[in-house]
Every structure is written in structure tokens, then in C-alpha cells.
Structure 1
Amino acid sequence: MPSLDPFFTEWARRRPGRARSLERAAALARALGLDDDRAPVLGVVGSKGKGTTATTAAAALASAGLRTVLVTGPSFRSYRERVRVDGMSVTDTELDALGARIDAARRGLPPVEESGGYLAPSGLFLVAGLLHARDVEADVCVLEAGMGGHRDELRLVGPEVVALGSVFAEHVGVLGDTVEEIAREKARVAGERTRALVRLPQTAGVAAEVDAALAEATGGRVRAEVVDPGRPGVEPPPALRPPGLSAASGVLGTAAAARMLDHLGRPPLDRERLYAVLGTLRLPGRLSHHAVPTEDASGGGDGGATGDAGGESTGAVPDAEVLVDSAIDRAGVSAALAHARGLWGRVDHVLLCLPDHKDVSGAVEALGDLPVTAVRLPEAHLRFEHALPDHWGRMDADGLSPAALRALGTRVLALGTVYFTGRVLEAVDAPTDRLFG
């Protein structure tokens, strides 16, 4: 297991009220020679679906023959999944080496007290990805932002192409007090290096705010390009898009990759090669379904997946399965429930893990009279105090295991925040090292 101290030391030691420091992150990048010497970057921002957009974009670029480094977060089962080359996670040894270089450069910076803030873990994984891209002579990087945009380390990188997913009311009061303010924060990840911004359709108010923020950030050089998943002929075809609500993110990722190829002066995406790579796409925790192993069969490393990203079963039907999805609101829960019923015909039990800042009320309404167990995570910064139906069960996330899943039935739907779905993937030993190829 890799040492994570270089990525979490300053965050773990932060004082109350102290914020992340982009100035300190910029100084670290300069110390590592990343301010100029880096691969071209496709940056992904949005309220939901960033990981799917980034992964699809990376797969599309890889199909064009580009060596592609992908940085996403949070991870599923291991922090080394935060950095990938052509869809494959770096090794523990590689992540350790990257962390050691980052730590050596960090120690050469002024004390945290002088910089006014700490180095955030998510930003340090971006740095690790850029370092690794230089090491492996990558042609391009695909970097997923954290929850923000202008205040995210991705802005310091200066992405040449930006992919903007759907924007809605998440982190209200942190990123902004309205959806329009949140959209402005995300669009302002663009900067002097940005040559294109590709976005999904938005509400009129959000679209106007994105256009204004983009014009401000780029001096009017760049205008948003809209890709509509509902328009006939838009790539990829529906059969090769991620399932459920993630389908739009697959379209956005493909369009952003095509725009990056154009920026680099490369030939356009070849349909045959694109379709071949997208056919291998695996998105854990995005309507992914897995066999629930027996206790003595778990821990093998290759996982117990029974299907691909589209959720189609292969081979013999296992005696117990779990469908895992990172749904966090009414629409997502409803879509996941419909997918599960289409796949299985029934749902025996639902595991739901939504902290109070998610759409708990919407999820409760969508699940109706189904048997549900609410799961609590141990993370101190998350609150689980929202009123829930009396007939729901309760459990702590530490109790997740193959036996616990099997006790709920043979067709279990696990929904909630990515920190929870990662635990479910761990419990069933799901394969998460390779996402495509």
C-alpha cells in the first residue's frame, strides 16, 4: 500500500479556519518545473458526472493513439486509482515515487503559516498526474477538477480545453448562493491557455452566466460550444454511451476529446477505433453490477464483476448481485431504480448512504415502500441527522461485507455518495484498476 503522507500531511495538520492555498500550489508547481513543462490538458468541471466525462474523454483520446494520463477523484478502492495511464492505475511503487518528489519540493516551500493556507490533497494528485505524464512522455492529460473551478488547482494548470457538465444547486453557500453563481465559479477554470470550452445544454440563466464568465476569463477569445446528447448523430451512439443519467457525460467527454484533437492538429476520431475502445469502458459505481462473493471467495484481486459499464450480464447468473450507483438526488435514485428493475425485474433491498447535504428527501420519495437500509459513514465532516422513515433499517458503513449484502437478498441496489459506493466495491472485490482498453 502506498504512503499517502505526502498528499495529506498539510491537510491533516490544518488549523481551524485555514483554507487551501492556490498560491502555495502554484509555488509547488514551479518548484517541480510544471508551470511550463507539461502535456496539453483537457480539464473537466461540473456538478455531476465529471469522472464519467473525464474517463470517456481519456478513452476517446487513447483510441486516437495518444498516450493519455487521467486524473480523477475520489478513488474507488485505492488512491493509486487517482492517476492512470491509458486507463490503467499507476502502481503503488509509482505513486510512492511521485509522492516522494512532491514531498521533497513541498519541504522547500515557506512554512504553511507564511503562505496562509495548505496544499489540498486533490490538488496534489493533479500535480502527481502532471509529473507522471512528463515521466511517461504522455501526449495529453485529462484532469478532473474538485468541487470548484476558479478556486481549484486545475485553474492554475490552465487547461487548453474545458469540458463543462451540467450545473445545478450543489455546494450552495460554498461555491455560490445561486446556480448561476456556481456556474460562474466553474466556468472560470478557463484562462489564458484555454482555446475551447465544450458544454452540455444548460438552463438559460446558467448558459448566460457561463458565456459571460468565459468571455471575462479568456478576453473574449473563446465562446462556448454546446453538444446536445439528444441531437441525432451525436457521438457516440446510444449503445456505447454510459448507462442511465451518465449517458450525457459520455457524449460530453467524446466531444471534448474531439475538440482536443483539433487543437493539437491531430486527425479526427476514427469511428471504428473509438467504438472499439468505448466498448471496453468500465465505470465502477456508475450503474455497475457485481456478483456478491462468498466470504471465502472475496479478496482475489480480479473482482467479481458480472457485466460491463452498460450493465449487461455475461455468463451464468450469480446467486447474489449488487448494482452500485453514485446517485445523490431524486432523479439519480429514480433512474438507478428503473435500471435495476429493467435488469433484474425486482429489487430485494436498497442500501442508501446520503449525508444531509444531499437530496435525502428526494431519495426517500423515489424509493417509496421498498425495503431500505440507511448507511452512515464514519467521516467526521459528514452529517447523517436527516429524518428517515421509521421502517428503514440502519447500519454503519464499517459493517459492509459480502455476508451483510447477502443477508439483504439476492438483488441489492446500493446508492449514495462515492465514499460509500467505493466501500461497496471493496466489499465485493470489484475490479477497478483498468477503466478501458
Structure 2
Amino acid sequence: MTDGSDAFFAEWDRRGPSARRSVERAGLLVRALDAGTAGTPVLTVVGSKGKGTAATYASAALAAAGYRVVTVTSPALRRERERIRVDGAAISDTDLARLGERIRDATRRLPERRSGAGYLSPSGLFTIAGVLHARAVGADVIVLEAGMGGVSDEVSLFAPDVVAMTEVFAEHVGVLGDSPAEIAANKAGVTAATTSAVVSLPQSPPVTEAIATTVAARTHDRVKPEVIGPSGLPEAVLPAAYGRRNAELGCAAAERLLDAVGRPQPSPDRLHRVLSSVRLPGRLSWHRLPGTTILIDSAIDRSGAATALAEAYARWGGVDHVLVCLPDHKDVAGVIAELADLPVTYVRLPEYRHLRFTHPLPPHWTVMDDTQLTRERLASLGERIVGLGTVYFTARLLDLLNAETEHLFEA
């Protein structure tokens, strides 16, 4: 690492082949750092997809109310410091280096990690660092996006005042649970005894029941999950397609948090102004190279690919080429079916050795490693290109295109 983030990846880089993250070890680190939230309200976003959108819009709505908001999301768009933001703006290299030193020093004081034992995960360490930074800058509220799971994620170390749940589906089966309902119970498990509200997008009946049962147990029947419908916000201040629901969820969660702490809601004019400034790079975002326009979306299943193609056809009437990067645990088969006979290049990410790219592919697809992808290669694929896949890949495209990712909204 050359950006000061090496401390966040130290144990992950040394993990064994079967080792898993250790939330318990992360809890020891929180105590070593005295990194509690100390009365600062916390809004936590969990779910299978769309968490970043919900967290960004919740943060924007809270900033519109006059709050100073620290937001932690995962993974980064282009630079690791983008995982921690203040009022939508990424922290500086200096801030990241300072936080990394605190993480490194505190980790040295922990019991030595035995071979094969659980490790401190990068996303968990950025969560802890974000809470530390919130204290340093005097944040009024903290918005945390779960990396994976809920009770099994480091966000569970910080009791949320409000929980927002995006759609839950069968992702990470066998890791978080053996069914969407079990996965939902894990994610809803982030709810604490002090949580005042849990807001959710509509879910399947088994998932709805699992969320309700988990929340009831965590809050001693004090809190009932609230399903969020259309917000009534103008379409112009919300993202396109499926992102709209997640944005509305984030805004609803922010509204519940303001109610919980007795803070006035922002005026409609100010709320609309701030929401109108939100940018979501890598989520149905449009970018240009000379002679080429590129639609980038972090679609990981067939429905996401279909949505992105629909947006492309609506603007262009056709697509010249599609870049796809999906590891084996994503819906590779569904995306293959959706792309049908379109010209496709499948991109692998050899740097991420925890991801496997072995799914059988159509014979007409081109296959390449991301190191072979250049601006010139991208432009040679046509005038109308769609880039789809895991956030690690969309981040690679955004970096290649030098996309603006420093500021997600203007408060």
C-alpha cells in the first residue's frame, strides 16, 4: 500500500486459507482505542444490495438538517480514504495516515494472533477508524454501512439508534446463513436494545418474518420494523431505477433518527437542494472518453444487468460492448443469460486472491485480466460501452476514467 492504508490490511494479508474475520478481536481493539461512540447517534445500514446508496442519501439528508455527518462505507470507490467521509467529502491522506497509525499502535497491544485464528478485517478496521475520526472532528451523527452481515460484522460493535435494511436476498449463502431468512436474521441482529427504529424496504415473507422476530428479540418487543413505501420526494432529487428505493430508505432512516434525537427536520427546499447534489459513481453513472461513453453499474445479478441495459438502450438505442467482472459467488449464470448475444469482455481480478473466476463462460466472450485494461483498450471497444460487476471492478473503471469521487454531495 502507498496511501497510508497498510495498517488496515496487515492481518488480512497474513490470514490463513480458512481464517475468518474476528469481530471479537475487533471488539478488543475498540476497547484498546476507547473508540466508543460516546453518545453520538448512529445510523447503521445493512442488507444485500444498495447499502452504499442508502448510506449516502441518509448522510445527505442529515447534513441538510445541519448535522455534521461522518459516513463509513465499504469498499472505496478509487482511494481507501474515500471509505470515511465528512459531510460527503473523503478524508485527507494525512487523516488516513493518522488513523492508520492509531490502528497499528493499538493492534500491537492486543494478544498475539495465533496461526489460523480470526483476523482483523479491513472493512472492520475502517469502521473503527471512522468512529475515531467522528470523535476527532466533533461529528453530530455517524452513518455506518455494514461490510457483510449484521451481528457478524464490526458495525455490531456500535449500537445503532436507527437501522436501515435494504433488500435481503440469497447472497453469502453458507457464510451468513443457509437461506435468505437466516441471512436476514444475521443482518437484523445488528439491532441493539437501545435502537429506536428499524426501517426496511419490502421483503419476501420469510425475510420479513425473520427481521421482525430478530428485532423483537433484540429490543424486547419494543420496536417493530417499519416497511418504507414511496417517499413522495420529487423524482429529480432521487437516482434512477432501483437506486431510487434505496435512496428513499436512506432518507426515511435519517428522518427517524432526527425524530429520535429531537432534531428538526430540514426544510423541503434545503433537503431537495442537498439531495439534488448527490453523485453515485459506479451506480448507473455515465462517463466519457474521447469518442466513447461508458455506463458503469455495480450490478451483480441478472435483474441488475437488465436494469443497466434498459438504461443504456433508453439513452443510446443500442450497446456496442459490455465489460463484465463477476466472481463465482455472484449471479454469473443470470448475467450470462441477460447479455445473450451482445459482445462481451469478461474481466478477472487476479489481485483479489479471495475471489474466484472459474465459472464457465460463453465461447464468444473475450477474457482478460484487469491489468490489461487501459483507456485506449476501453475506447477501442466502441462508442457505447456498459461496465458491470463487483464494486472492486467498477472502482477500477472509475480510476481508469479519472472519475470525480472526492465529493458525493454538497451540504
TM range (shorter): over 0.9
Which of 388, 392, 396 is the aligned partner of 1:423?
Answer: 396
Q: Which residue of 2 aligns with 1:250?
A: 247
The reply to whether residue 381 of structure 1 matches residue 354 of structure 2 is: yes
Q: Which residue of 1 aligns with 2:274?
A: 277
The correspondence of residues 225-236 of structure 1 with structure 2, limited to 5 A, is 225-229=226-230, 234-236=231-233
The reply to whether residue 360 of structure 1 matches residue 332 of structure 2 is: yes
Which of 319, 322, 326 is the aligned partner of 1:350?
Answer: 322
The reply to whether residue 336 of structure 1 matches residue 288 of structure 2 is: no
The reply to whether residue 327 of structure 1 matches residue 299 of structure 2 is: yes
Contact 1:18 1:116 in 2 (8 A): yes
Tell me which stretches of 4 or more aligned residues in structure 1 moved more than 6 Å: none
Shift of 1:376: 1.1
Q: Which residue of 1 aligns with 2:285?
A: 288
Shift of 1:38: 5.3
Shift of 1:39: 2.1
Contact 1:235 1:255 in 2 (8 A): no
Query: Runs of 5+ in structure 2 lacking a partner?
Result: none
Aligned partners of 1:114 and 1:76: how far apart in 2? Answer: 32
Cα RMSD (Å)? 1.4
The reply to whether residue 432 of structure 1 matches residue 405 of structure 2 is: yes
Contact 2:76 2:82 in 1 (8 A): yes
- TM-score, structure 1 normalization: 0.91
The reply to whether residue 112 of structure 1 matches residue 113 of structure 2 is: yes
Q: Which residue of 2 aligns with 1:191?
A: 192
Aligned partners of 2:256 and 2:115: how far apart in 1? Answer: 41
Contact 1:39 1:130 in 2 (8 A): no
What is the SS of the residue equivalent to 2:82?
Answer: helix
Give percent identity, aligned residues only.
54
Shift of 1:17: 2.9
Residues 400 and 114 of structure 1, relative CA distance in 2, 3 Å threshold:
closer
Shift of 1:239: 2.4
The reply to whether residue 171 of structure 1 matches residue 144 of structure 2 is: no
The correspondence of residues 79-90 of structure 1 with structure 2, limited to 5 A, is 79-90=80-91
| Number of residue pairs the alignment of both structures matches | 408
Residues 385 and 115 of structure 1, relative CA distance in 2, 3 Å threshold:
closer
Shift of 1:36: 5.2
Query: What are the Cα deviations for residues 320-377 of structure 1, in whole angstroms up to 9, with x where unaligned?
Result: 1111000111100000000011122221111111111111111111112211111111
What is the SS of the residue equivalent to 1:170?
Answer: coil
Contact 2:42 2:142 in 1 (8 A): yes
Query: What are the Cα deviations for residues 78-102 of structure 1, in whole angstroms up to 9, with x where unaligned?
Result: 0000000000000111100011112
Which of 329, 339, 342 is the aligned partner of 1:370?
Answer: 342
Query: What are the Cα deviations for residues 298-320 of structure 1, in whole angstroms up to 9, with x where unaligned?
Result: xxxxxxxxxxxxxxxxxxxxx21
The correspondence of residues 111-150 of structure 1 with structure 2, limited to 5 A, is 111-113=112-114, 116-150=117-151
Aligned partners of 2:283 and 2:112: how far apart in 1? Answer: 41
What is the SS of the residue equivalent to 1:112?
Answer: coil
What is the SS of the residue equivalent to 1:223?
Answer: coil
Aligned partners of 1:391 and 1:21: how far apart in 2? Answer: 42
Aligned partners of 1:15 and 1:324: how far apart in 2? Answer: 34
Aligned partners of 2:306 and 2:77: how far apart in 1? Answer: 23
Q: Which residue of 2 aligns with 1:17?
A: 18
What is the SS of the residue equivalent to 1:113?
Answer: coil
Query: Runs of 5+ in structure 1 lacking a partner?
Result: 294-318
Query: What are the Cα deviations for residues 162-202 of structure 1, in whole angstroms up to 9, with x where unaligned?
Result: 00010001011111111111111110111123111110111
The reply to whether residue 162 of structure 1 matches residue 163 of structure 2 is: yes
Aligned partners of 1:30 and 1:394: how far apart in 2? Answer: 47
What is the SS of the residue equivalent to 1:424?
Answer: helix
